[in-house]
Structure 1
């Protein structure tokens, strides 16, 4: 695997800081946020300096019941080629549910949700990963995700699930140590045990990020400093294997450049500590082996031990027709869960109701935040009322077509509510009208003609 070194997530808000930051060997970009034909100048300059750029996808939904969308795969492949990337990455998650497999409306989570660690889910995921691998021009690595909730009836630990996935598909692994910490707090899973079970020879690189704890729940915010427990997991990982690359993720509440540089220094120190532990462990092991070799061998143990039986080769993965029943079962389960989270339907049996309420609030809050980013005019027009109005709109109204569509639907809801004062209503209506058609309202021939005629009349 290519050595990447130490990197940082490239975001437009910190583009200048990243360019000026010493010791940055590579950067990662959110694949859906870049256009192959119009790369940001900052990314072009980084590439010209020899800095590796890796696209990191968030919308494929490889853990979902449907096969990966061909259009999304093509877009990811185009970004890999435009950036000259040595690999691309995605998540082991589902991001949408419903549709033809369940004869129900399509629902969008707007977030990465955990896949049940079951044989059904593993079979579907393996097939989806192979489809993606065949469509991409470079190797694929997949990331473990942070979760607020646990699926009932899981059949494997995270380490076992990832081991089988890598074994059956040959896919590389992107291990997020912050997500291991999240799952430790939220689901009681031991990070050391997960690391011990992982096929570390499949490691592509490592993510490190911050978060916060509230009411006993860890939120993987990517908006806070990296905490000590996450750095400790990184050190543990580095004592077991030399990571080909390590990357700091920060998506919001960007600090001053010096604070980011300080976090990179802290990450390097955690890696160095892990390497020192590995060297010390190696020296101790060598010393113990030497003592054993020098000790007299008891007669009773003179015979060579019997070789253990070789592990069975994994069975071939099911074909497309063989996974159809698993896809249907997974589709029903994921749709029931997502519907409970975003549409207020009953909670499926076996789930923690209190934890699902936390997840539902988190999804709604993230949805409000992203809509505010893609349509900043709306919170500017509504002021302090934006968040309250959006959360009231989102309750029982699942997202079905992405965040830009969601912004338009929210504006239309506001216009129909009758609660807006005249000035705000007029401006929201103008914003919605400009964006709701196939072409901007102001660019439509009839509108341009009418405006031209009006200017002529005004000049007379």
Structure 2
């Protein structure tokens, strides 16, 4: 295997183990958990040893109706530069909805949700990708996500949707074979058909991860060993074209170091087994597959500077003589030459229509409103429950004092709080809002516990850390809590 090689997701909980694991050639770190000016010492040591570090974003929401947030893009760019990363990665997903575009409250999912596989949603995604490519100093690769449900108006298969995204933008792909397996179980998608449809030469690297099946639903937990079905998909991918890199994701219930080493060895053996494609040669696609007439080798066309596939300039301003569309994109008037092939043009009102659809869906998932027409209500309830459990888990990590104060009742109390309350912002705000809810509900059950919880909430809900006088006031007020 050439390129990145075999890697593992770097997480603070296993940072020491990652540094010791044999054969780790690169790591991937969640970009939002890093500060460009204060990188974790473990990542600095890995970089000094020559280990490549790739920042993996989870919050851009490029599949959402809105344009990418410039601040988020700037932070991702700074992180990539600080790490000396050869590329950055994100997801084909939306993570928020509502807001000014739909004249409705803004909502955060706290999760990567699937986008509708429609031509119109693809137009919006392509323009968002182009905007991101312009802002980033290195190539961008996008990951296919796991899903518990389908959109009722899908027009394209997953493989076709991703292939057209590559053809139109030149973006690279982070192929998660565990997510292909998940979608096969949950939505009936054929993972091998999706794999065969992908442009092999556009693959930046591959994810593998574990999950668990409960009540007929596959949950992509990243907390279980990689199952044989996922390794079979990895083997199929490797038989078509040697992937530049393969990475093991593990986010929870971390096993002993020797078990991680064994999983990495299994992954390496799966990719390098006799008969696998070597040197990027491909059966059924090939590493030299053309994208809009240009061969894809090494750095894929149209990445860092957002050039349209086929060599034409991306639309970044008015086209001469064009009529402005409401979304701020222009189209040539009748009788003039068409835009270069592959250029993303967002049709009039497309962002608003997509925004309304995504807001209605997200409201059903996080605010308890009815399921939009055409969706499987039972499956959306499963997704809503999964979102609540994920929120509870992250809040418990961000604010470990809360489960400590509430004990065994923490999960049930959080479910009651979150069932019809969207995230008020980030997870820290969620923790504060939940603490206020618990106090109003008379939790914990003992007065001493409620006093401790009140003081915890009061000292963190102010815009800045309390001084001595404020702490005395909080202590006095906490003494009044019964």
TM-score interval, normalised by the smaller of the two chains: 0.7 to 0.9
2:432 is the alignment partner of 1:433: no
2:244 is the alignment partner of 1:244: yes
Match of 2:417 in 1: 393
- Per-residue displacement from partner, 1:6-33 (whole Å, max 9, x unpaired)? 0000001111110011110000000011
Stretch of structure 1 that moved more, 395-404 or 61-70: 395-404
Task: Give structure 1 regions of 4+ aligned residues with deviation exceeding 3 angstroms.
Answer: 312-316, 446-451
2:421 is the alignment partner of 1:422: no
- Per-residue displacement from partner, 1:68-89 (whole Å, max 9, x unpaired)? 0011001101110111100000
Equivalent pair of 2:63/2:94 in contact (CA under 8 Å)? yes
Distance 1:191 1:448 in 2: 57
Stretch of structure 1 that moved more, 50-59 or 395-404: 395-404
2:79 is the alignment partner of 1:79: yes
- Per-residue displacement from partner, 1:99-144 (whole Å, max 9, x unpaired)? 0111000011000000010011100000000000000111100000
Stretch of structure 1 that moved more, 425-434 or 59-68: 425-434
Match of 1:384 in 2: 408
- Per-residue displacement from partner, 1:144-193 (whole Å, max 9, x unpaired)? 00000000021100110000000100001000000000011011111111
Gaps of 5+ in 1: 286-311, 452-460
Equivalent pair of 1:123/1:317 in contact (CA under 8 Å)? no
Equivalent pair of 1:168/1:314 in contact (CA under 8 Å)? no
1:336 pairs, out of 354, 360, 364, with 360
2:470 is the alignment partner of 1:447: yes
Equivalent pair of 1:21/1:261 in contact (CA under 8 Å)? yes
Distance 1:24 1:313 in 2: 45
Match of 2:341 in 1: 315
1:406 pairs, out of 430, 440, 445, with 430
Distance 1:382 1:142 in 2: 40
Distance 1:8 1:340 in 2: 35
Which residues in structure 2 correspond to 1:36-435 (within 5 Å)? 36-273=36-273, 276-278=275-277, 315-319=341-345, 322-420=346-444, 421-435=446-460
Match of 2:317 in 1: none
Shift of 1:400: 2.8
Distance 1:400 1:110 in 2: 11
Q: TM-score, normalised by structure 1?
A: 0.87
Distance 1:83 1:277 in 2: 32
Q: Secondary structure at the match of 2:459?
A: helix
Equivalent pair of 2:88/2:140 in contact (CA under 8 Å)? yes
The Cα RMSD (Å) is: 2.2
Q: Secondary structure at the match of 2:174?
A: strand
Shift of 1:314: 7.2
Shift of 1:277: 4.5
Q: Secondary structure at the match of 1:105?
A: strand
Which is helix-richer, 1 or 2?
1
How many pairs were matched up? 418
Stretch of structure 1 that moved more, 413-422 or 70-79: 413-422
Distance 1:112 1:228 in 2: 25
Q: TM-score, normalised by structure 2?
A: 0.84
- Per-residue displacement from partner, 1:307-358 (whole Å, max 9, x unpaired)? xxxxx99734344xx4451111100110111001111111111111111111
Distance 2:229 2:59 in 1: 29
Q: Secondary structure at the match of 1:82?
A: helix
Distance 1:200 1:346 in 2: 41
Shift of 1:447: 3.4
Equivalent pair of 1:92/1:115 in contact (CA under 8 Å)? yes
Distance 1:450 1:225 in 2: 50
Q: Secondary structure at the match of 2:370?
A: coil
Match of 2:289 in 1: none
Distance 1:323 1:257 in 2: 52
Distance 1:355 1:381 in 2: 33
Equivalent pair of 2:242/2:277 in contact (CA under 8 Å)? no
